[in-house]
């Protein structure tokens, strides 16, 4: 369930989500799909940190009709917001929950023979051919049926006859790397496995798959990270609009003499007299400790009034230090908000310093921030 967020005056930072930018990204993705391919939306993990109810409602207004979540609990919350949407549960059918799925009109993505057996048994008992997707593992080696087992299951009318297979799904393991040979292997495997079922819709493309070209699009795409401004493909520019801006309050501006160390562990030493802005955000707010800096390696950065502000020293639980030596004192001052992620600080850029991916940044943000919805047009430096 959503937790209340503090007022702006009482929060160390604020998180702005631009729902119109999410809708614009969905339109961009839709326009990149071949004719006849539906653009769904993957809104798991609280819509990648942007707010499940708010984001799903805006996407529905834009024309999205099919949504994918990970967990049944997420699906139930989503159903409260969108009573008529098609909702798939990617993590499958949890034991003993078929009646709950059916009552809420949720579609499990059946990932194993035991799940198929349980859904089939429930449908047989209820005398209702309820819809469900079936997941084929084409090379991820995570969830799903291997192609040989999928063929056996589909040939067994006792297993599949009582319900309606409404979608055949697989998932790309290396889609972010367009030239990776596994992409073509998975595509060919998926085509071969599903060739005998031309009337059942199919889905292979996640965000990366949308940009791999029409061969990967099939009947429905299910983008996630790209909706939220993330970078789907490793090479090239990111065509998506940013949708989130995180700003943290400057708690103090202080001078540090040359040769003094900064922060826990004394891992970074001032090479000149420095001015540091101590801001109210740390790893408890999703800003990963690995993105801190030391004498041996640079770290991430913030942004204020056209100035790039390098992180200095380790990121601690509740705060971090930013170098504002070259920023006018009238700009970097107590109470001013500094951008830590947003139009000038991409999550994919921060992820490089933290040795992770932008997914982890987006889904981990905002537990203590004041949350608001609107355009990302906050004037820089406004206190």
Catalytic residues: 44, 264
Q: Which residue is it, tokens 């940190």?
A: 49
CA distance linking residue 92 with residue 357, whole number of Å: 25
Partners of 274 in beta bridges: 256
Would strands 66-69 and 41-42 be described as parallel, antiparallel, or unpaired? parallel
DSSP, res 302: E
Residue in 287, 300, 290 with CA at minimum distance from that of residue 350 = 300
Q: Which two tokens stand for residue 20?
A: 């119109």
Would strands 261-262 and 268-269 be described as parallel, antiparallel, or unpaired? antiparallel
3-state secondary structure (DSSP) of residue 313: coil
CA distance linking residue 212 with residue 209, whole number of Å: 5
Strands of 40-95 (E only): list them.
41-42, 66-69, 86-89
Would strands 274-279 and 320-323 be described as parallel, antiparallel, or unpaired? antiparallel
- Are the C-beta atoms of 108 and 89 separated by less than 8 Å? yes
CA distance linking residue 257 with residue 326, whole number of Å: 15
Residue in 338, 342, 316, 335 with CA at minimum distance from that of residue 327 = 338
Question: 320-334 burial by CB neighbour count: b if 16+ within 10 A, else e?
Answer: bbbbbbebeeeebbe
Q: Which two tokens stand for residue 365?
A: 């943000």
Residue 1 neighbours by CB distance under 10 Å? 4
Would strands 320-323 and 307-312 be described as parallel, antiparallel, or unpaired? antiparallel
3-state secondary structure (DSSP) of residue 264: helix
CA distance linking residue 58 with residue 56, whole number of Å: 5
């Amino acid at each position: 369930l959503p937790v209340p967020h503090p007022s702006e005056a009482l929060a160390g930072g604020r998180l702005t989500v631009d729902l119109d930018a999410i809708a614009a990204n969905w339109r961009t993705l839709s326009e990149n799909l071949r004719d006849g391919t539906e653009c769904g939306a993957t809104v798991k993990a609280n819509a990648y940190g942007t707010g499940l109810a708010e984001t799903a409602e805006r996407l529905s207004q834009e024309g999205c009709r099919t949504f994918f979540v990970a967990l049944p609990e997420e699906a139930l919350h989503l159903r409260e917001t969108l009573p008529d949407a098609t909702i798939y549960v990617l993590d499958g059918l949890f034991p003993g929950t078929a009646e709950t799925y059916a009552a809420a009109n949720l579609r499990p993505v059946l990932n194993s023979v035991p799940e198929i057996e349980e859904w089939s048994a429930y449908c047989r008992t209820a005398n209702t051919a309820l819809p469900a997707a079936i997941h084929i593992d084409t090379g991820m080696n995570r969830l799903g049926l291997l192609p040989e087992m999928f063929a056996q299951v589909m040939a067994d009318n006792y297993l599949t006859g009582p319900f309606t297979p409404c979608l055949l799904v697989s998932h790309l393991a290396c889609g972010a790397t367009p030239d990776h040979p596994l992409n073509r292997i998975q595509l060919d495997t998926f085509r071969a496995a599903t060739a005998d079922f031309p009337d059942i819709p199919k889905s292979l493309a996640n965000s990366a798959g949308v940009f791999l070209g029409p061969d990967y699009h099939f009947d429905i795409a299910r983008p996630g990270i790209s909706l939220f401004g993330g970078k789907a493909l490793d090479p090239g520019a990111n065509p998506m609009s940013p949708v989130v801006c995180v700003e943290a309050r400057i708690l103090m501006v202080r001078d540090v003499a040359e040769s003094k160390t900064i922060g826990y562990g004394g891992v970074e030493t001032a090479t000149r007299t420095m001015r540091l802005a101590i801001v109210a955000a740390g790893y408890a707010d999703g800003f990963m400790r690995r993105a801190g800096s030391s004498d041996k390696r640079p770290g991430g950065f913030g942004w204020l009034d056209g100035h790039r502000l390098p992180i200095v020293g380790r990121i601690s639980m509740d705060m971090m230090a930013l170098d504002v030596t070259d920023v006018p004192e009238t700009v970097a001052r107590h109470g001013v908000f500094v951008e830590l992620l947003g139009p000038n600080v991409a999550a994919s850029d921060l992820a490089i310093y933290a040795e992770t991916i932008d997914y982890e940044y987006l889904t981990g943000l905002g537990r203590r921030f004041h949350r608001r919805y609107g355009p990302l047009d906050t004037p820089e430096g406004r206190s």
